[in-house]
Amino acid sequence: MSWLRALKATARAGLTVERPRLEPFVALRGAAGLALVVGVSLALFGPAVAVSSAFGAFQAAIATFQRSWRSRPTLALVSGATLAVSTFLGYLTGAHVLLFLLLLTVWTFLAGMAWSAGPTAGIIASSNVAIMLVTVTLPTSVAEAAGHAAVILAGGVVQAALVVLVPIRRWGAQRDALADALAAVADYSRRLRQDPLALFDPAPLMTARSAAAVSRRQARRRPAELHGARGLAERIRPVLASLADPAVGVPAEGPERDRVRELLAAAASVLDAAARAVRQGSPAAVPAEALAALRTPDTGAILSGPARRAAVRLAALLDDVVEAVTPDDRAEVGEVRERPTLLQLAPGALGRARGELRSASPVFRHAVRVAAAADLGYAIGAALPLGHGYWAPMTAVMAMRPDFSQTYSRSVARFCGTLVGVAVATGVVQGAHPGPWGSAALAVVCAFGMYLLMRTGYVAAQACVGAYVVFLLGTGGQEWTQTVPERVVLTLLGGVLAMVSYAVYPAWETPRLRTRLADWLAADGRYAACVAAHYARPACPAPEAVREALLGTREARVAWQDALERAAHEPVRHRGLSRTAAADAEHALGQFGRVAMLMEAHLPDRHTTALPVAESLAESLRRATERGARAIRERRVPEWGELRATVAHWDRESVPDPVLRNGARLLLEALDELSEALSDGEGRRDAGRRKGEGRKDAGQKDARPGPGAGPRSGSGGGAA
């Protein structure tokens, strides 16, 4: 993608307004907390303290809207506490330019590195730096600085207390995550009716798994319907695939296939009913025809072998799902995924941050960019005769993200949203001339709009933020003429700094696509090898390594998809992996993982006869995929000669299990498809290179003077 097309695409993305489900009561709770803090501070301490407290309460409420599974009061408290520390340090150094620049450099670099701990940590840290740049202009002494930091912390405490005292749709995020996972499996069941080889995106199951981790305190209060259904959905997915696949299930057409389609439709209806029950906290209303289709005795007469076993298991699992999502007073049973506390997470977060301290790391490059842009923006803002120079570094810090698309789209959206918000707020201030209390009330209204529209798009939220800051500074006695014109110019400057910094010191995802693809292949190979090895040792319990390998391949697949999405918007050539080759390779690896999942769905029980040939298959899979991953990283087409030789002489007598026999063949076919996709990509690239060289040679040939060309040929050839 060219730079012009990339800029157009990111600009459109930044200005896009979405229509998600609004949460007006949650937004009203955050605005009420802000109004309470501002009103009390304004009445008792005056406008300056009210402005500081407003920033603390405003940021704490924003933290509760982040996509995190940690409790909302904890997020509000952490936001308030870290913002108080940031602003206090800023207050202490604000009068000394060089010392403050040193603090700004260190603080913005650490805020950039905080992205290694996740988006929530990165957003909170970036917001702390941005607000610190504003609030350091307020106090005049250390005592006042401590007081302002205290009221900022108090704003976070108030927002946390309101979340506890006024709960709104408690466990709503966890309910939505589990319901989305069940609905995704239901949609997969429907697609299998038309396409027996359909692929499944595991992202909803991964999200539900993250949501299922709770603290010990939360585990005692979690609704019973949120426990157990996720694990059942995980187990249902491979059963559905094995029931539909002609290689291990039933023929592509005929009465058996019709029966399978009926079972798949019934399973989708049951899972949809379970999803609605989880989302609403009500009993599951399962359609009677779906239950009848699952419980009819005709299944045993029509289906046989692996298909019959899958149908029986599917009916049992769906019964368990309906029972699990029905609210009652049952005590929770089974293991609980415990979420570590923030203190327990600290060593791991520090370890990940140390691991990112390398020049090739996108997080490290982001930290360097944001620190440099903040310092340069602060210096330029201070040098310009506009006043309030902190708007430039604040805009750069808030707009910058570790990837290209978000940085550029947010820069455009922030400027456009700020322009609209400031223009509207300016008109209100000029026409109504509100005093401190009127300005505070208008600021609270703008904050409510920001909380309400936060997830509809960045441009809409920034329009509300722009008006909020104008009204809030008006509460402190600053006239609009002192803030609005320079804020528009400096906001544009900050956005330009953010965009230029990424162009100068980028962290492109496109050159790393082959590495991501290789990581996915290696993870898929480990998973398939673990599954195959169990066929050789059925007497042993199903190894935990199978589950860990499955989670590893899901994470690798999601990392590949995220990288591919980011690379699609980058103004960088594919460098050996075209879009067509990437799409074909993704399909091949998706089929490889699907076949491994089918083999897992039919793992033999402990009384089944061991198959020693499965051990050699597992070793061949492990070695072949590791070598294949290395070849992809080195821009070579992987070969599968050893694996092909392993399964070349398999037949019904040597490998009586049809799932293992057919599964090995399908795994090899998927790997051949992967090699074909990569070889086609290499072929297209080589053809393009040869074509370019041919044009170059032809141009040189045309430029050579021929017989009798005379002196005209040199100048004429050059002009042509």
pLDDT at 45: 86
What average pLDDT does this structure show over 433-455?
A: 90
The string of DSSP codes covering 467-507 is HHHHHHHHHTT--GGGTHHHHHHHHHHHHHHHHHHHHHS--
Mean of pLDDT values over 298-327: 82
pLDDT of residue 422: 83
Residue 638: the pLDDT is: 94
Residue 691 pLDDT greater than 80, yes or no: no
Q: Is residue 77 a contact partner of residue 33, using CB atoms and an 8 Å limit?
A: no
Q: How far apart are CA 682 and CA 607, in angstroms?
A: 48
Question: How much of the chain exceeds pLDDT 90, in percent?
Answer: 37
pLDDT of residue 333: 43
CB 669 within 8 A of CB 594: no
pLDDT at residue 82, rounded to an integer? 92
HSE on the CB side for 387, CA within 13 Å?
A: 9
Per-residue pLDDT tens for 419-441? Answer: 888 888 888 887 787 888 998 99
Q: For 338, phi and psi rounded to 5 degrees?
A: -90, 130
Task: Say what the pLDDT of residue 557 is.
Answer: 94
Report pLDDT for 552: 93
- For position 157, what pLDDT does the model report? 94
pLDDT of residue 522: 96
Task: Kindly indicate the confidence band of residue 10, based on its pLDDT and cuts at 50, 70 and 90.
Answer: confident
Q: Does residue 718 register a pLDDT over 60?
A: no
Q: Lowest-confidence range among 134-143, 406-415, 544-553?
A: 134-143
- Going by pLDDT thresholds of 50, 70 and 90, the confidence category of residue 538 is confident
Task: Decide: residue 139, CB within 10 A, 0-12 exposed, 13-18 middle, 19+ buried.
Answer: buried
Give the separation between CA 370 and CA 407, rounded to whole angstroms. 11
More confident residue, 415 or 9: 415
Please count the other Cβ atoms lying within 10 Å of the Cβ belonging to residue 298: 11
Q: How confident is the model at residue 654 (pLDDT cuts 50, 70, 90)?
A: confident
335-339, 444-448, 458-462, 630-634: least confident range: 335-339
User: If DSSP codes are grouped into helix, strand and coil, which group holds residue 338?
Assistant: strand
Mean pLDDT of the chain: 84
Per-residue pLDDT tens digits for 541-580: 766 788 899 999 999 999 999 999 888 888 887 666 888 8
Tokens 């979405």, residue located:
18
Q: How confident is the model over 86-94, as a mean pLDDT?
A: 85
pLDDT at position 480: 52
- Please compute the mean of the pLDDT values over residues 274-300 and round it to a whole number: 81
Higher pLDDT, residue 310 or 137: 310
pLDDT at 719: 29
> Pick the residue with more confidence: 591 or 385?
591
d(CA 678, CA 574): 13
Q: Token pair of 362, please? A: 């996108």
